[in-house]
Amino acid sequence: MDISPIITKDLLGFLKSHYPLHWDGLHGFQHWVRVRENGLMLASLNGANQKVVEYFAFTHDIQRQSDGFDPGHGARACKFIRTHLLDRIDLTPDEVNLLCLATSGHTNGKCHPDVTINTCWDADRLDLMRAGIRPHPDRLCTPQSRDPQIIEWAIQRSVGY
CB 2 within 8 A of CB 9: yes
How far apart, in Å, do the first and last CA atoms of the chain sit? Answer: 20
Minimum Å gap between C-beta 133 and Fe ion is: 12
Minimum Å gap between C-beta 4 and Fe ion is: 18
Window 4 to 43, contacts with Fe ion (CB under 5 A): none
4 or 94, CB closer to Fe ion? 4
Minimum Å gap between C-beta 11 and Fe ion is: 18
Measure Cα distances from 57 to 3, 32, 47, 123, 128 in Å. 12, 5, 17, 8, 14
Minimum Å gap between C-beta 26 and Fe ion is: 9
Which residues, 6+ apart, have CB-to-CB distance to 44 below 8 Å?
Answer: none
Q: Which of 41, 49, 58, 61 binds Fe ion (CB under 5 A)?
A: 61
Q: Which stretch binds Fe ion (CB under 5 A): 65-73, 77-85, 117-125, 150-158?
A: 117-125
51 or 124, CB closer to Fe ion? 124
Per CB under 5 A, does 122 bind Fe ion?
no
Minimum Å gap between C-beta 125 and Fe ion is: 8
Per CB under 5 A, does 54 bind Fe ion?
no
Nearest Cα neighbor of 23 from 86, 67, 70 is 67
Beta strands in the chain (DSSP E): none
Distance (Å, whole) CA 158 – CA 161: 5
Q: Where along the sequence are the contacts to Fe ion (CB under 5 A)? A: 61, 124
